[in-house]
Amino acid sequence: FASVLAHELSHSLVAARNAVPIDRITLFVFGGVAQMGRDVDLPRTELKMAAAGPLASYILAICFGSLAYLADVLGMGTLNLGLVWLALVNVGLGTFNLIPGFPLDGGRILRSFLWQHTGDLERSTRSAARAGMGLGLLLMAGGAALIVADLFSQEGAVLVSGLWFLFIGAFLYSAASSGYRQARLRSRTAGLRVADLYRPGVPAVDFSTSL
């Protein structure tokens, strides 16, 4: 969780340098998320913010790997094992987040490139979100296949992995779909004012009127 927090803090620091406020960082079972106070208005800002997280994870992996090597040289086997696992966790965290499916960092990087090329944020978000939803479906299918294979083998070796892929796939599919709906809503209402949607003269009745 400290590694995930460092990953999300790197997003936040780059966001702060680009005048994008971060309201909070939330850690949960699948990772973490830095909640922005407003939308990013330039594709290059999105690119820098998205790339910062995986970069921080890879830097942590190098640091833990170097410490693991030092522990191994000094004959500290138990410490070496823990540091190796931390290095591997950060490599996995950085690599998984680089998968080009929104709302993962790789999906945001993909969206920034599409946004830079087309100039259309909604269309770019739709393409990146579809990639994220497709990835979610693939993970769910893979998880279901592992569960079925485990049922036939009756060894229980891949049941947990299958369930994990199933949950991550469902979460990613839901997040990608929700992220696109939110982006579409923001783009459709960006030029509107309250007065554009306000309807005056709402009917009212007296408090004493019988229902």
Write out pLDDT tens, residues 37-83.
887 888 999 999 999 999 999 999 999 999 999 999 999 888 999 99
| Percent of the chain clearing pLDDT 90 (strictly above) | 42
Is residue 8 part of the annotated active site? The answer reads: yes
Report the DSSP beta bridge partners of residue 161: none
Per-residue confidence (pLDDT) for residue 89, from 0 to 100: 93
- pLDDT higher than 80, residue 31: no
Selected catalytic residue, list 8, 46, 122, 155: 8
Per-residue confidence (pLDDT) for residue 30, from 0 to 100: 66
Q: Do residues 27 and 3 lie in contact, with contact meaning Cβ atoms separated by under 8 Å?
A: no
Per-residue confidence (pLDDT) for residue 83, from 0 to 100: 95
Per-residue confidence (pLDDT) for residue 156, from 0 to 100: 64
Q: Measured between alpha carbons, how far is 22 from 4 in angstroms, rounded to an integer? A: 16
Give me the mean pLDDT over the 8-30 stretch: 88
Show the tokens assigned to 174.
Answer: 């839901």
Per-residue confidence (pLDDT) for residue 182, from 0 to 100: 83
Whole-model pTM?
Answer: 0.79
Per-residue confidence (pLDDT) for residue 105, from 0 to 100: 92
Q: Measured between alpha carbons, how far is 94 from 105 in angstroms, rounded to an integer? A: 9
User: Can you give the chain as a three-state secondary structure string?
Assistant: CHHHHHHHHHHHHHHHHCCCCEEEEEEECCEEEEEECCCCCCHHHHHHHHHHHHHHHHHHHHHHHHHHHHHHHCCCHHHHHHHHHHHHHHHHHHHHHCCCCCCCHHHHHHHHHHHHHHCCHHHHHHHHHHHHHHHHHHHHHHHHHHHHHHHHHCCCCCHHHHHHHHHHHHHHHHHHHHHHHHHHHHHHHCCCCHHHHCCCCCCCCCCCCCC
pLDDT in tens, 170-199: 988 998 888 888 888 877 887 888 888 888
Per-residue confidence (pLDDT) for residue 70, from 0 to 100: 94
Give the chain's mean pLDDT. 88
Give residue for tokens 């910062």: 52
CB-based burial label for 176 (10 Å; 0-12, 13-18, 19+): buried
